[in-house]
Structure 1
Amino acid sequence: MQQATFSIQFFYICIINMSEKTLIVLLGPTGVGKTDLSLRIAEQLHCPILSCDSRQLYKGLEIGTAAPSKEQLQRVKHYFVGTLELQDYYSAACYEEDAINLLNRLFSDLNVVLMTGGSMMYIDAVCNGIDELPTVSDEVRKLMIERYKNEGLESLCNELKRLDPIHYEQVDLKNHKRVIHALEICHMTGKPYSELRTHSNKQRPFRILKIGLTRDREELYERINRRVEQMISEGLESEARSVYPHREFNSLNTVGYKEMFAYISGEWNLEKAIEKIKRNTRVYSRKQMTWFKRDPQITWFSPEQESEIMSFIKNQIF
């Protein structure tokens, strides 16, 4: 017990004496176990948590986004959880600006801050920055959404091919949000979207330490399946019904709610909706890991390697 107490005291002294500002990024696929571990790390480091989840930002989606519970929010100060209304427009560029401004304030008093989540573009926005593209007007955004509804995705893809053949060859043509966003920028600027993308990393006034969590695929899939079942038992259907009138908002264009909306509208039965949520969540987890595996700066651990992770953090930043 004395040795454990000494280790904790020594760890805390190291934090106080640390001079280099460090952002620890705890990332990984959905369902891997980031939330519980992030709380314990933050408690040991005496630091707040920045949520990096593009849907936990919105109010009223606590169950479907597996947002931190009230008890968890009381344990550690969190930012970017339940701060937006469903109709609010938000993007990776917005998150970059808000997160960097917040970090600048936090680092005036703290030497270490923890950011955790699985939204790939939001993580990249904070760590590397994204190109400064013009803000899309409400008028242009509404126009493109209406065109998507009335003309379909193929028509918009054809227009993108005409306006920006370079980006047309690069973008996921099945992802309507990416296609629409590129067209929005083309219409706002009168220039091809590809001309405005520099892909240059921005220098941050703090160090970034990336820690990735991973599990065996079958184990991860089983955890995802159990988590979906838990969401159902906690009241996901009721939550989905409460936001169903707002289903056209982009904030609800996400796994969990789309499938429940199909059930509520009578398109699917509940059993099919639940199976679709499980399947689509597993697919999303694969996309996350494909994205993260491209980053050589990430050091990977199993969530059960908590002591190894804490030793790694101590060795890297103290």
Structure 2
Amino acid sequence: MHTLLVLLGPTGIGKTELSLHLAKYYNAPILSSDSRQFYRELNIGTAKPTPEQLLRASHYFINTHSILDNYNAGQYEIDVINILPDLFANSNYAMLVGGSMLYIEAVCHGIDDLPTIDPEIRQYIKQIYLENGVEGIRSLLKKLDVTYYNQVDLKNSQRIMHALEICIMTNQPYSALRTQTNKTRPFQIIKIGLNRPREELYERINKRVDEMISQGLETEVRSLYPYKQRNPLNTVGYKEFFDYFDGHYTYTEAIDKIKQHSRNYAKKQLSWFNRDASVRWFHPDDALAIINYINSFNGNIGDIKQTGE
């Protein structure tokens, strides 16, 4: 049976190395579901697989787009679903690896077919937010779509702005366009969640930020400063350095904020994934248990190998 293995978890948990081990064991290509690894210009701050790691398995959706492109979860869903038949022609398994919640949701369950937003409308909403803050966009959403206003996380400015863009683009309430129906997929989906004790995860996140700094993250972000308004750059590790360049943070404060915001994002990811009862959770070091779990669906495909072989 064709099977999509979904390896998900918070930032810094250790998905990359485990995915390479599983890809070798199952002869499975890896499709990134990290929505920032799509972009060629974002490297250090997105913790992309190294060139050596990329050679260890076939990878898709890494370095496929520019930050100047308009790319979203809806288009990603189409692209992944279109490429999977070709991948399944060569292997019974493919792997979706990453932590971008909406993009994983799009592939596994589908998302509503919503219109592409005109750049002018996007800029209009962004300007309201810049001038009036989150209260400004909350107020407008309450006026245009009170139903979604009562459902959405009112602290999530990105989600509020997205809903406003749809409202204005279509002249209809966003809530009226959301079907929230799951699409049927012609393949089996097995979801594997990775987690660690909270202190262990936070220590890994802090260490990874330090490594990014030593690898030259500041220089990478500085080269992208002219494009800081592009949506892909509204990303932890980049926006904090932009604030440092603009004089809002000291250098030390910027690094501390990157660590803090990375930890906050990890917590948000775990909260989202924990709502999905179909996810089976493992420690990233427990490769044997993960393989046994996967094999329990389709039967064992061979001798179990230790991680690192």
Q: TM-score range, shorter-chain basis?
A: over 0.9
Deviates more, 1:143-152 or 1:251-260: 143-152
1:248-263 matched pairs, under 5 angstroms? 248-263=229-244
* Residue in structure 2 matched with residue 3 of structure 1 by the alignment: none
* Residue in structure 2 matched with residue 202 of structure 1 by the alignment: 183
1:89 aligns to 2:89 (yes or no):
no
Equivalent residue in structure 2 for 1:264, among 215, 221, 245: 245
Deviates more, 1:114-123 or 1:130-139: 130-139
Deviates more, 1:166-175 or 1:144-153: 144-153
Equivalent residue in structure 2 for 1:113, among 83, 86, 94: 94
1:147 aligns to 2:133 (yes or no):
no
TM-score by length of 1: 0.91
- Report % sequence identity: 54
1:137 aligns to 2:118 (yes or no):
yes
Secondary structure, in 3 states, of the residue corresponding to 2:31?
strand
Deviates more, 1:87-96 or 1:44-53: 87-96
Tell me, yes or no, if the aligned pair for 2:27 and 2:91 is still in contact at 8 Å. Answer: no
Equivalent residue in structure 2 for 1:80, among 47, 61, 77: 61
Deviations 1:74-117 (A, max 9, x none): 11111111111112112111111111111122223321101110
Counterpart Cα distance in 2 of 1:269 and 1:156: 29
How far did 1:139 drift?
A: 2.8
How far did 1:171 drift?
A: 1.4
Relative distance call for 1:97 and 1:220 in structure 2 (3 A) is same
1:210-249 matched pairs, under 5 angstroms? 210-249=191-230
TM-score by length of 2: 0.94
Secondary structure, in 3 states, of the residue corresponding to 1:64?
helix
Counterpart Cα distance in 2 of 1:247 and 1:277: 16
How far did 1:188 drift?
A: 1.7
Structure 2 counterpart of 1:107, one-letter code? F
Secondary structure, in 3 states, of the residue corresponding to 2:44?
coil
Secondary structure, in 3 states, of the residue corresponding to 1:212?
strand
Secondary structure, in 3 states, of the residue corresponding to 1:152?
helix
1:31-180 matched pairs, under 5 angstroms? 31-180=12-161
How far did 1:245 drift?
A: 1.2
Q: Which runs of 5+ in 2 are unaligned?
A: 300-309
Deviations 1:10-33 (A, max 9, x none): xxxxxxxxxx11000001111110
Tell me, yes or no, if the aligned pair for 1:22 and 1:317 is still in contact at 8 Å. Answer: no
Secondary structure, in 3 states, of the residue corresponding to 2:45?
coil
* Residue in structure 2 matched with residue 22 of structure 1 by the alignment: 3
Q: Which runs of 4+ in 1 moved over 4 A?
A: none
Secondary structure, in 3 states, of the residue corresponding to 1:101?
helix
Deviates more, 1:101-110 or 1:160-169: 101-110
Q: Which runs of 5+ in 1 are unaligned?
A: 1-19
